[in-house]
Every structure is written in structure tokens, then in C-alpha cells.
Amino acid sequence: MSCWETIADYGLRSVGIGERLLPRSDFTLCQQVTLIGSGMIWNIYFGLVALAAGFFLSISVAMGKASKNPLARKASEWFIFLFRGSPLFIQFFFAYFAFLSLKSVHPAFDLFTSAWLGAAIVLFLNTSAYAGEIFFGALKSIPKGDLEAADAYGITGWHRFRRITFPTMLRLAWPAYTNEAIFLFHATTLVFFSGFPAWQQRGDALYYANYFADKTFNPFVPYPILAGFFILLTLSVIGVFGLVNAHLTRHLPAERRQKIRFRPRQLIR
């Protein structure tokens, strides 16, 4: 069987298109690369969904933590502490079993026990807490002069937030937020190891890498393949976020632009 046939059979296996049975013996390099690459679809899906939805919640959480209203402040602080203070792995387990218990209350919760929705919700909340803390830090370090200038021009309320606070906050937070995005993509590999079942063996990249390592008892092929895919993903995230960063800082002189630097902030959450 040529490699093109393998790609046609297994290229979309992780979403249920193509050959139903996974290869069982005589694994070729092509099969491993194709299936692990096919699993990356899930990693990208989870990362994008959580990132897109989490962006809005995290800004709300940051605003809540910075607000004068004690109720909003306490709620945001507890939300951040709850999700940053406990391992993501345990959060996945807890959420899965919680949804499983709720299923007996109402059948609508059946959907939540499948990874595509349940795990996406956990990741969404988790990244909102981490990014919320990042945005809160940025909110606190907005130069005083910017806000005073806005006051002097009579810019207030929503208008001030929209034109002054939000763009500056976003610009200051962007390098740290890039990091958070990278680790979010890394964290998506935990999904199928934490209770959420891979229905009909439709798993993510690590699920397939682990499958091959178990079957061949040789970790030296599938895991480096997985590493290669993730390095590519990390580089593309840095590329895309770098473009946004260039857009956000386009009005600044070159030496005041913050570079995006990749640093290990929180790997397993």
C-alpha cells in the first residue's frame, strides 16, 4: 500500500472519515505520521475553540478583578484561584464525572460527556482563568498618563474603555498571552487521558502516538513524530500572534515594541 493510499484512508480518521479499523500490525512510518497528524485536528480544534471563547471571558474576569464592586472582584478572584490553583488533569476528571452524574438528572447532559463539548468547556474556563490573570496584570500596568489624558479630553465610560484602556491592555498583555496560547495547545493533549472517552478511537495526536507506542513497544518513533507536529504548531502560533503583535504595536517606535519571547510559564496546569 502506497503512502498516498494511507493518507487517503487515515488522513481524516480522527474525525471518523476513511478507514474504520486502525492498523494493527506491520506499522509503517507513513501510517504513524498520517494518523498522528490526523489527531492534530482535535488539538487544533480544542485550542481554537477555547482560545476564541476564552478571550472574551478572560477580559471580563480581568475587568471583574480590577473592579471596585466587591462582589465582582471576589467572584473573579475565586474563579482565577480555582482554575489556576488546581491541576487541569483533575479538572478534566472532575468535570467528566460531574457531567456523568448530571446525565441521570437530565438527558441533555449526555452531550457534555463527549469530549468535543465537555473538554472544550473545561479548557475554555481554564484558559479564561490564566489569561484573566494576564490581562489583569496588564490592566494594572496601563500608564497613568494615558488615562489622565483621556479624562482631560472628556473621554469616559465605554468610550474610554474601547479607545484607551482596551487597546493598551491588549498590547501590554500580548507577549504573555502568546505564551498562554502555546501552553493551551499543549494542554489539549491531556483531554483523552482524563476520562473523556475517545469514541470509536477518534482521538488526538497523543492518543494515536500512545496507541503506536503501546502496540509496537517502541517509543522512539511515534513520540518524536508527535514532537515534530507540535513544534510546527508552536511555531505557527508564534507566527500568527507575532503578526497580531506587529499590528498592535505598529504606532510605537521600534525599540519600545515588546518582543514575543517564549518562556515556560505554566506547562501542566
Partner 1 sequence: MFEYCADPETLTGLTWLSCYLTNGKHLLFYQSFGVVLALLAVTAPVSLAFGFVGAMAARSTFPPFSLFGKLYTSIVRGVPDIAFFLFFVIALDQAVEYLRHQAKCPDWDMPVRQGSDFVVCDAAKMPLSTSPQWVHETYGFTLAVLTFAIVFGAFAANVLFGAMRSVPRPQLETAEAYGFSPRQTFWRILVPQMWVYALPGLSNLWMILIKATPLLFLLGVEDIVYWARELGGSKNARFSDYPHGDWRMFYFGALLVFYLLLTRISEIVLDRLMGRLTLGQATAGGEAQRKAPA
Q: Which residues bind partner 1 (CB under 8 A)?
A: 25, 81-82, 85-91, 93-94, 97-98, 100-101, 186-187, 189-190, 193, 206, 209-210, 213, 215-220, 223, 226-227, 230-231, 234-235, 262-269
Q: Which lies closer to partner 1 via its Cβ, residue 235 or residue 240?
A: 235
Which residue, 59 or 185, is less far from partner 1 as judged by CB? 185
CB of 242 to partner 1, least distance (A): 15
Please, what is the minimum distance in Å from the beta carbon of residue 155 to partner 1? 33
Q: How far is the CB of 222 from partner 1 (least distance, A)?
A: 9
What minimum distance in Å lies between the beta carbon of 79 and partner 1? 13
Task: Count the Cβ atoms, other than its own, within 10 Å of residue 107.
Answer: 9
Residue bearing cell 492498523: 23
Rank residues 70 and 264 by Cβ distance to partner 1 and give the closer one. Answer: 264
CA angle 171/233/123 to nearest 5° reads: 70
Contact 170, 248 (CB under 8 A): yes
Gap between the Cα atoms of 258 and 244, Å rounded: 12
Q: Beta-strand (E) ranges in the chain?
A: none
What distance in Å separates the CA atoms of residue 106 and residue 101, rounded to the nearest whole number?
Answer: 10
Determine the length of the chain.
Answer: 269
Q: How far is the CB of 157 from partner 1 (least distance, A)?
A: 34
- Three-state DSSP at 111 gives helix
Q: Is 45 exposed, middle or buried (0-12, 13-18, 19+ CB in 10 A)?
A: middle
For partner 1, the closer of residues 16 and 87 by Cβ is 87
Nearer Cβ to partner 1, position 171 or 186?
A: 186
